[in-house]
């Protein structure tokens, strides 16, 4: 009908025609679609059936563990002791902006967080570094832990870090040089802290532990009172550590790890309300959601990413990064792309 005339093309592409059809596609509802309803109906089935084109954006000869964060039209990727920035061109291709490369760490950077024009990262030497994305300069540097830092998060004026030295520490977010005065509180976890997140209401934070002891692998701490709010566990087996977690809301927490399960916790009752098991019995390294019903999980084998719908018990689709045997260390996504961080570099799955 679009080929008949300009009038028919205008009518056939209007949102009022296509919006009723978007209801039957339940994927990626939480994203603000920056396209027409017709384009949404065209792209959504590609996720369901796994139809995409793959392209490597950044390759690295030395195999390293990267971390990835998405910000509007750009991507931040850690390599060794630097964090590189990639921006999207009008054609859709991503190109590195070398003027925004963040440096200053003495050893390899581990996980980092990008919020409010700030980047906060942990390092293998136990330090925490903070950069301003506007000026790309190092604004603060703190020597915090005795061993490598596995996870960090920040909110307002505090930074929370978790380390291999079995502690979580709360730092004052300031521009002073590194000093012991910057450490506000210390939480004893009892074992290695793999993952960590601050809740959206900034009252508590959750820490995922290595799970090598008999204690539950997820601990909730109150930031103000420094007390343990709860310990979350369900059929916990020794060694079933929690490698990544994500707050869906102040009362909802998603976790994944070595036990091959994704679990949804209700923090009002401190119980697991839903769980999904990886069919291939593979450890789950990272998790990302659209804020609604869609989940994407990176696995430990062959660059495989699994697509889930919370309303279903079985996965929707599995997607492989071609010619890769690497675990998926980090994932990010928008309405038409899936960004995957492997030990060989950054690859993009284009569903448009």
Render 62-112 in DSSP notation, one character per residue. Answer: S-----EEEETTEEEEEETTEEEEEEE-TTS-EEE-GGG-B---SS-EEEE
pLDDT of 34 > 90? The answer is: no
Residue spans per domain, the chain: 37-52+90-327
45-54 CB burial, b ≥16 within 10 A, e <16: ebbeeeebeb
pLDDT of residue 90: 80
pLDDT of 181 > 70? The answer is: no
**Which structure tokens are listed for 320?**
């492989």
Q: What is the mean pLDDT of residues 254-260?
A: 95
Higher pLDDT, 180 or 342: 342
Q: Which CATH class is domain 37-52+90-327?
A: mainly beta
Q: Distance between CA 128 and CA 223 in Å, rounded?
A: 19
pLDDT of 177 > 60? The answer is: no
Mean pLDDT (the chain) is: 89
pLDDT of 321 > 70? The answer is: yes
> pLDDT tens-digit profile of 44-103?
889 999 999 998 888 887 888 999 999 888 899 998 889 999 998 887 788 999 888 998
Nearest to 162 by CA among 104, 221, 78: 221
> pLDDT tens-digit profile of 111-139?
999 998 899 999 999 999 999 887 777 88
pTM: 0.91
Q: What is the mean pLDDT of residues 214-239?
A: 91
Q: What angle do CA 54, 65, 87 make, to 5 degrees?
A: 50
Q: Distance between CA 202 and CA 223 in Å, rounded?
A: 8
pLDDT of 25 > 80? The answer is: no
Q: Distance between CA 99 and CA 137 in Å, rounded?
A: 11
Q: Distance between CA 81 and CA 107 in Å, rounded?
A: 5
Nearest to 162 by CA among 244, 232, 102: 244
pLDDT of 307 > 80? The answer is: yes
Residue ranges in the chain assigned as alpha helix (H):
6-12, 15-22, 37-49
Q: What angle do CA 240, 245, 251 make, to 5 degrees?
A: 120
């Amino acid at each position: 009908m679009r080929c008949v005339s300009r009038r028919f093309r205008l009518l056939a592409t209007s949102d009022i025609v296509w919006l009723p059809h978007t209801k039957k596609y339940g994927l990626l509802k939480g994203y603000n679609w920056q396209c027409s309803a017709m384009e949404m109906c065209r792209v959504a089935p590609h996720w369901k059936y796994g139809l995409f084109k793959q392209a490597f954006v950044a390759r690295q000869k030395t195999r390293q563990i990267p971390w990835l964060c998405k910000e509007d039209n750009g991507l931040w990727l850690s390599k060794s002791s630097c964090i590189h920035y990639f921006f999207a061109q009008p054609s859709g291709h991503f190109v590195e902006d070398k003027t925004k490369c963040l440096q200053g760490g003495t050893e390899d950077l581990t996980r980092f967080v990008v919020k409010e024009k700030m980047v906060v990262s942990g390092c293998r030497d136990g330090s925490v570094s903070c950069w301003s994305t506007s000026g790309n300069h190092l604004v603060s540097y703190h020597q915090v832990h005795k061993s490598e830092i596995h996870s960090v998060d920040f909110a307002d004026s505090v930074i929370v870090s978790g380390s291999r030295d079995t502690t979580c520490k709360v730092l004052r977010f300031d521009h002073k040089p590194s000093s012991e005065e910057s450490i506000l509180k210390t939480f004893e976890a009892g074992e290695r802290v793999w993952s960590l997140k601050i809740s959206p209401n900034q009252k508590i934070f959750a820490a995922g532990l290595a799970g090598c002891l008999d204690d539950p692998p997820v601990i909730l701490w109150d930031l103000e009172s420094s007390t343990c709010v709860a310990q979350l566990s369900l059929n916990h087996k020794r060694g079933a550590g929690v490698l990544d977690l994500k707050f869906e809301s102040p009362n909802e927490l998603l976790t994944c790890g070595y036990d091959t399960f994704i679990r949804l916790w209700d923090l009002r009752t401190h119980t697991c309300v839903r769980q999904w098991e990886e069919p291939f019995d593979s450890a789950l390294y990272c998790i990302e959601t659209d804020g609604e019903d869609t989940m994407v999980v990176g696995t430990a084998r062959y660059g495989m990413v699994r697509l889930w719908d919370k309303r279903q018990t079985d996965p929707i689709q599995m997607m492989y990064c071609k010619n890769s045997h690497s675990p998926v260390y980090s994932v990010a996504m928008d309405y038409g792309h899936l960004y995957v961080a492997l030990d060989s570099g950054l690859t993009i799955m284009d569903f448009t």
